[in-house]
Amino acid sequence: MDRFSQRQASLLLSSPAKLRTIIAPFFYNTSTRTCKMMSTTNPNPQAAAPAPSAAARQKMEMPPLIYGTAWKKERTADLVYQAIKAGFRGIDTAAMRRHYDEELTGHGIHRAIQEGLVTRADLYIQTKFSPGDDAFADTTKYPTITSQVLASVASSLRSLSTPASDAETQPPYLDSLVMHFPFHSPQDTLEAWATLSTLVPSQIRSLGISNVTLPTLELLHHQSSTPISVVQNRFRRAEHAWDVAVRAWCAQHSAVYQGFWTLTGNRAEWQGSKFVRDVAEGAGVPLATAWYALLLAADIVVLDGTTDPVHMREDVEGVEKVAVWRGTEAGRLVWERSFEAFDRLVGGV
């Protein structure tokens, strides 16, 4: 099974019934980056992997498109609600008040749940602890890194808790907590990571790190028993040559790579490449959506921050449309040729 087929399966979290029927036999496990069959007609059911529990599925599953809430300011609540309404099931925010608003993000989530669009179990909620760059960096109130981390996480849990009307009875939790960037000191980074680790899996299901280079990943990997589940980096040619080294590390260590600035930082590539145009024309989707589909095929979960409700729906439905098209006789060869060209461009890992 190729990488795109694996990622197709994770579309189950947000796909409409039609696509769910097409890809229902597959379950994408982000903790092992493997795709297992879950067919009810398996001729050898004893050989099939047991279906994970609901709690395990909650921890392991991640939508392929995650709505990014940076720089939305006073529009945050409405845009989060609109994104969920359009089909997004992943939400990314941060406890960095300069660029994010966790409280308004929570309001948007509350509204969607109260209107019956989703339940908490349908959503993948991810936030960030921002070292030295949020309200919890005041050393007169929070003198240690540990106290800063715990205060930040407590605030995030309050802001992003779901309404009491939601049928679930478990305490508030975060699907993913990402360290926004490493501290200047490796030891401080390790202390923050160790503190976050004490909250896994009760309040935080998995940990990640953003704006990170290979040496820091190796440091955390070797010094901590808590795995790095998510790596979120800027994905563009001009920085670290498409981040090939970090993406390869993720593939080797079963971490999910999330890319941001995938459109803004790569306009020349997605607007001017023939292979993107071929996918867009073949599947009948916009160029940006075709580019997203190619990213997903390369095991890159996309941070999508559009503020246009029309584009929100185009993105969610468009990548699903590409998934269907590339499985047809007409689309298969075009897709394979286009993905090979894309893979050469960004350095296949």
What is the tens place of the pLDDT at every residue in 313-335? Answer: 999 999 999 999 999 999 999 99
pLDDT value of position 164: 60
Q: Would 132 be classed as within a structural domain?
A: yes
- CATH of residue 142's domain is 3.20.20.100
The answer on pLDDT for 14 being more than 80 is: no
Q: Would 169 be classed as within a structural domain?
A: yes
What is the tens place of the pLDDT at every residue in 103-115? Answer: 999 999 999 999 9
DSSP structure string for 59-118:
HH---SEEEE-TT-GGGHHHHHHHHHHHT--EEE--S-TTT--HHHHHHHHHHHHHTTS-
Q: Would 46 be classed as within a structural domain?
A: no
8 A C-beta contact, residue 125 and residue 109: yes
Confidence of residue 170 (pLDDT cuts 50, 70, 90): confident
pLDDT value of position 42: 35
16: DSSP letter: -
Q: Would 325 be classed as within a structural domain?
A: yes
Confidence of residue 146 (pLDDT cuts 50, 70, 90): very high
Which residues form the domain of 262?
3-39+52-346
Gyration radius of the chain's alpha carbons: 20
CB within 8 A of 211, min separation 6: which ones?
Answer: 180, 181, 182, 232, 233, 234
What's the helix, strand, coil split of the chain in %, to 5?
50, 15, 35
Q: Would 180 be classed as within a structural domain?
A: yes
CB within 8 A of 109, min separation 6: which ones?
Answer: 80, 81, 84, 91, 123, 125, 160, 162
pTM of the model: 0.84
Q: Would 112 be classed as within a structural domain?
A: yes
Q: Would 213 be classed as within a structural domain?
A: yes
Q: Would 63 be classed as within a structural domain?
A: yes
Q: Domains in the chain: how many in total? A: 1
Residue of 244, 199, 249 whose CA lies nearest to 228: 249
Q: How many CB atoms lie within 10 A of CB 236?
A: 21
